[in-house]
Each structure stands twice: as structure tokens, then as C-alpha cells.
Amino acid sequence: MIARRILLLTGLLTLAFASPHAVASPPAPGERIIAGVTAAGVDVSGLTVDEATQKLVATYGDRLKKGVSVKAAGRMIQMSAKQAAVKFDAPLSATRALYAGRQLASTPPPPGAAPVRVDVPLAIELSQQAVRRFAGRVDRRVSRHPRNSKLRITLRRVSVSHSRPGRDIDHAALAHSIMAAFRDPRLGRVFRPKLISIKAKVNALQVRKTARTVITIDQSTFTLRLYKDLKLRKRYRVAVGQPGYPTPRGRFSIVSKQVNPTWSVPNSPWAGELAGTSVVGGSAANPLKARWMGIVNGVGIHGTGEDGSIGTRASHGCIRMHVGDVIDLFARVPIGAPVLIG
């Protein structure tokens, strides 16, 4: 019975707060709010609307002019009540309390039941849009995208950068809490939103697994370096492309491997009468000796029979090695290994 009566009272109060003049007559001269009524926790029992108005202003007037602060990730971001367009209507708040008292008086509790008390919210308007914009600004200043680990290759060093988790906040929930605080002066005005951690998609361990073997080729010093597990394991002397047929620069990978490769002769004037033909592996006419590791656009690493060219710009774009060196390297390098040519 009591629960049903409270539910009915809540419905009536909702109507009264939405449009008080539609369900109740204006306060009568000298009419006082009955016992058991509070406004945002302030007891206004026995007061007239004017007296209740003064008490609410004295209690909460200054408090409602204060802004809010958000502390997160070492930052403090503030929003003033003015920025939120907060407007406190103390007379309407007091009138709400009076109407709530009338409803209490019209529905007396059953014999022996405890008196029913009611607390009415203050009549406060604010710009929800402004608060949501502020919460979005906090989100942008505090949040950050996760950072994946990356393989960093220079001609003389191979390393893996560390991943970093990202972070985010629930800015919609923050906006809701801020609006509630502006409407209810009893609530705290300093917010510490929970930071939501966002895991990076690629960590250092994953990158290391894809970069067990790395090759760098320094054309200025005719040096090929082999890195294993990010550490320099071996250096080899090489030959690179002539000025007219330069070796391409950039980051590539080993795309193919062959033992005693067939030479598909480029259809180029420098190839002479062999242009456009194929020369079988192991043939004296085949300049690709012993091993082939393809890189890009017909350019690759191979052995040479012209040992005197090593340490010079002598090839038509490929990287030449001594036969013993290329056989040694071939066994150490898998398909897919990164190659940096500089």
C-alpha cells in the first residue's frame, strides 16, 4: 500500500515539475510548505515560497556558480558554470517544494505508517550540448592511439621499437556525470574518469619473430651486412650497379631463392646477342654463379665469376658476391627476410 502511494506521488510530482500551473494553483499568500519536504537536501518545511527561495539561494547560490574539473592522465581540464550556461531558478525550486507538500497533504499515510518525506530537485537549466562538447574535448586531450612495435632498419643498425598501449575514456558517461553535478550541488565537482587501456595490435615480440634475419647493403662502402636477431653477425664485400645501371635504393625483401639459377637475359642492348634468351644455370655464359636471391624487378644477390669487380660499381643493378660468400649467405637467409639498400 505504501509503495503504491509513493508511486502515485512520484507521478504527480513529475507532472507538477513539468508544468506546475497546469495541476496546481499559485501559492496562496502566507502559504507554507508542509513538513517532510526538502529541496536538494535542504529542509524547507514550514517556509513560504519566498523564505524557501532565500534559503536555497543562501545555501546553494555560490555553489551553483562553481565549475567542474576533470583530472586524468596528469591533466586538469576545467569547465565553468557560465560555459555550461547554468541557470538556477530558486523561486521555481521553492514552488516545486510547495506543490510537493500539497501532494503529500492530499495523500496522508495509513494509520501507523511512518511519515513520507520527499526531496525535490532544484530547477536548473544548462546547455547539454556545451557539456557534451567539453567532454569530447577532454576525450581528445586525454586519449591516445596505441602505438605498435616497428622494425627499424638503418644500414648499420637494426632495432625494434617498443609498443605502447593507447588510452580512452567514456566521454558520454563523463558528460552525464557533469550534467548531474551541475544540477545537484550536493555532488562533487572534481571528476577522475577511468582510463581505458587499449592494447597495441603488434608488440615487440611479434616484430622480432618476423625479423630474425635482416640484410643491409651499403653501396657507398660496398658492404653487405647480415643481422640475426637484431645483432650483426657477418659482413661481406659486394659489387653494386654501374652509374648507368644503378642498384635500386629502398627497403625490400628476399622474394625468391635458387641454386645454380637460370639467367633470364634482359631484353636490353647491353645483353648483346643473348638479349631476351635464357641461359641455364652452371653455364660459362651465365653470370649468375652458384646462388640467386631475388629482391625486386630482376635485381638480386648472386655469385660472380669476376672476383675483381667486388668492391666496385660494376653490375647492371644486381649485387655481386664472391661465390663462397654467396653460398654462405644463401644458407642463412630465408625468403621474406627484409633487405635495406642504401
Q: Which three cell numbers stand for residue 83?
A: 560555459
Catalytic residue, candidates 162, 302, 316, 322: 302
Q: Which residues pair with 322 in a beta bridge?
A: 304
CA dihedral (71, 75, 76, 82) in degrees, to 10, reads -110
Please work out, in degrees rounded to the nearest 5, the angle formed at the alpha carbon of residue 210 by the alpha carbons of 204 and 216.
Answer: 105
> For the packed helices 90-106 and 49-60, what is the interaxial angle rounded to 10 degrees?
130
322 given a catalytic annotation: no
Q: Which of 322, 137, 342 is nearest to 251 (CA)?
A: 342
| Region of residue 172 (left: phi > 0; alpha: psi -120 to 50; beta: else) | alpha
Q: Which three cell numbers stand for residue 231?
A: 645483432
- CA separation (Å) from 133 to 144, 168, 175? 18, 16, 9
Residue listed under C-alpha cell 504527480: 12
Q: Cα separation of 174 and 194, whole Å?
A: 10
How would you class 185 by CB atoms within 10 Å of its CB: exposed for 0-12, middle for 13-18, buried for 19 or more? buried
Catalytic residue, candidates 171, 316, 318, 322: 318
Q: Which residues pair with 198 in a beta bridge?
A: 166
318 given a catalytic annotation: yes
User: Which of helix, strand or coil describes residue 24?
Assistant: coil
Q: Which of 36, 59, 34 is nearest to 47 (CA)?
A: 34
Residue listed under C-alpha cell 625483401: 253
Q: Which residues are catalytic?
A: 302, 318
